[in-house]
Chains A and B, each alone.
Chain A
Amino acid sequence: MVDYVLSPLFNGLFMAMVVFLFTTGLTLIFGILRVLNFAHGGFFMIGAYVAFSVVRLVGGETSMLAYLAISTVAGIVVGLLGLVVERIIFRPLQKVDEAYSLIATYALLLITEGAVKAVWGVSFHSVATPDLLGGAVFAGDLFMPTYAIFIILVGFASYALLEWVLQHTDTGKLMKSVASDPWMAGMLGVNVPRFYTFIVVLGFFLAGIAGGLLLPNQTLSPNLASTFVIQAFGALVVGGMGNIRGTFLAAIMLCVIDSFGSLLFSEVPGLFFYIAMTAALLLRPQGLIAGARL
């Protein structure tokens, strides 16, 4: 029971929340600007590296509060980078064909990889988990690392917060209206370009903070940029193209299926994520949650 049901379920849920935290910013930017940002992983990676440097700077402090504060710092730094990227790259991209945003953000991914190599070098780094999250909890025979429980809680909390903002606040209603018809929103007096800037900065902030939060789980190297981006695209598209609720559900579905699949067929780890993704796209090409924007 534990080995075949609860344990894979827990691991799948943990992986799903890792993917979801990575994908939130991507989903927001795609949902509103319709830019599929390849460089998202690059900025996630910069967030992780910034957090790593701050940890080094304060002398390996691993208290819970410091960890959260450092992740927020990483988010702010990456958010500020987002401000620059929006001005120089995303804004001009609005005028050209969609396919070109693919190449432009891929170019941006290369730049982030190069920048990380130039600033931090190519060697591998890692950071210890904060003391409070270092242990593990046993529920019967089920082994649950405290850090994984924490990430699952953060994932659910982030989803609840985003959903609340989108459905129940003025900002959220504004987001949804701009996402569904930017022209009309502009006619009604919304400053659409400034709103786009806000969304990009928010999306980048989310990427950076995710980089900081997930840092204890990662080995830092310039390869980190391209590690999660394909899974993130999977969750984004299976969820229904830029829809937070769909992305959340898709991340859980794909990762839990993958976790159970790995039990059956352990030779090729990660295989079932893509098999489930292929099947979901073929059976439900409109996505889990169709039609709704954000």
Chain B
Amino acid sequence: MRSPLSAPIARDAAIALVIVAVLLAMPLVAPKGLVFVVGTLALHIVFGLSWNLMFGQTGLVSFGHASFFAIGGYFYALVARSFPDLHPLLGFAGAGAFGVVLAIVIGLIALRRSLGVYFAILTLALSQIVYLFLSSFTPLGREDGFTGIRRPVLDMGLFEIDLARGDNYYLFIVLFSTLLCAVVWWVRHSQTGRALRAIQQDPERAAFLGINVAGNRLLAFAIASGVTAVAGALYGPWLQLLTPDVAHWTLSARPILYSLLGGVSSFWGPVVGAAGFAILEYGTRTLHGFSEIIIGSILLAVVLLFPGGILGGLDALRRRSAAPARTAKETVR
């Protein structure tokens, strides 16, 4: 079996460069509505990739990933409102740090006592607490949401960039998301990433090899949560509004859908899944009711026909044509 770890950096960098170039050129050709969808997609790609760092790489199923997205968003919005003079980049970094700290506190308790489905349900319960808190805490706007989140002015020392003007914030989101994806890529391909992969495959054996299983699981949870919190912080000014819905469990299901739809064993899986989902949603947005039926049916078809996700399915097809004697069975996760 070819390990995805051997994926050459040059190939992934080239793919990333092409995608980023296309995204940056978007506002020149695409209508405003589509640009908005793509900007949101960029953040959702980060959301999906960071979740898959826990699942595809480490074997942790978190069902409360949206709560970190929401916590990052609300943290940034609150900080930006309370300290208008603070540099926005510090605000975004602060949101990430807050996500990391919170994840460490939760992880210390949750990861030690429970794994597998229990961890999934535990994170689900905690995310419900976050959701209920956001919907009933007055300073955060309760059900009406946190309104009037401004797109900041970036002070770059020599010059200033007003992110509220034109497509500046869109370009900022694309570049910042790329940076966050690069962080996930780097973790995945670092020595830590290999330790995580060993833990995913067999925690007991990994422990015998001297890998700190609990510590590395906590690390994966903390990094994924921090990265997502930054994505959430970027999302607030993009929408200029945050409602408790960003912490709802249906949003926590999204990164799971992206990863499984695209293929969990590849770095690019969640990217493909998120893009595919966004295309489906955009394509069916005017069909009330039928939109859910179409999206649901296509998801079902992918799961039942290509259990390895879109990339896993393509891989199986390619391998079958390359070596007809081998069966496709081994590519099924």
Do they bind each other? yes
Interchain CB contact under 8 A, B110 and A282 = yes
Q: Which of A232-271 contact B (CB under 8 A)?
A: 233-234, 237, 241, 267-271
Kindly identify which residue among B128, B132, B292 contacts A110, using a CB–CB cutoff of 8 Å: B292
Which chain A residues border B256 with CB–CB below 8 Å? 99, 102-103, 106
Q: Other than the known A230-B249, A234-B121, A278-B129, what 8 A-B pairs have Cβ atoms closer than 8 Å?
A: A93-B303, A93-B304, A97-B307, A107-B297, A114-B289, A226-B250, A275-B129, A282-B110
Does B253 lie at the interface of the complex (its beta carbon under 8 Å from any beta carbon of A)? Answer: yes
Q: Does A290 count as interface, using CB distance less than 8 angstroms?
A: no
Contact flag A96-B303 (CB < 8 Å), given A230-B249, A274-B125: yes
What are the nearest 9 A-B pairs in CB distance? A114-B292, A117-B289, A110-B296, A118-B289, A111-B296, A107-B299, A114-B293, A96-B307, A107-B296
A234 to B264, CA, bound (A): 27
Q: Which residues of A are in contact with B by a Cβ distance under 8 Å?
A: 36, 89, 92-93, 96-97, 99-100, 102-104, 106-111, 113-118, 122, 226, 230, 233-234, 237, 241, 267-271, 274-275, 277-278, 281-282, 285
A277 to B126, CA, bound (A): 9
Query: What's the least CB distance linking A142 to chain B, in Å?
Result: 28
Interface residues in chain B, defined as those with a beta carbon under 8 Å from any beta carbon in chain A? 55, 61, 109-110, 113-114, 117-118, 121-122, 124-126, 128-129, 132-133, 136-137, 249-250, 253, 256-257, 260-261, 264, 288-297, 299-300, 303-304, 307, 332-333
Give B88 Cβ to nearest chain A Cβ, in Å.
31
Q: How far is the CB of A289 from chain B (nearest CB, A)?
A: 15
The answer to whether B118 touches A237 (Cβ under 8 A) is: yes
Which chain A positions have C-beta within 8 A of B307?
96-97, 100
The answer for the CA separation of A292 and B295 in the assembled complex, in Å, is 38
Q: Which residue in chain A gives the minimum CB-CB distance to B294?
A: A114
Q: Select which of B114, B126, B299 is within 8 A of A285 by beta carbon.
A: B114
* A268, B303: Cβ atoms closer than 8 Å: no
Bound-state CA distance A172–B4 (Å) is: 47
Residue pair A118, B293 in contact (C-beta under 8 Å): yes
Most buried by A among B117, B261, B303: B303
Interfacial chain B residues near A281, Cβ < 8 Å: 113-114, 118, 121-122, 125
A285 and B296 contacting across the interface, CB-CB below 8 Å: no
Cα A100 to Cα B137 with chains together (Å): 36
Q: How far is the CA of A269 from the CA of B129 in the complex (A)?
A: 10
The answer on a CB contact under 8 Å between B121 and A237 is yes
Q: For the complex, what is the distance from the CA of A241 to the CA of B114, rounded to whole Å?
A: 14
CA distance A111 to B289 in the complex (A): 9
Query: Which B residues touch A285, using CB under 8 A?
Result: 113-114, 118
Known contacts A100-B260, A237-B118, A278-B126: does B304 contact A111 (CB below 8 Å)? no
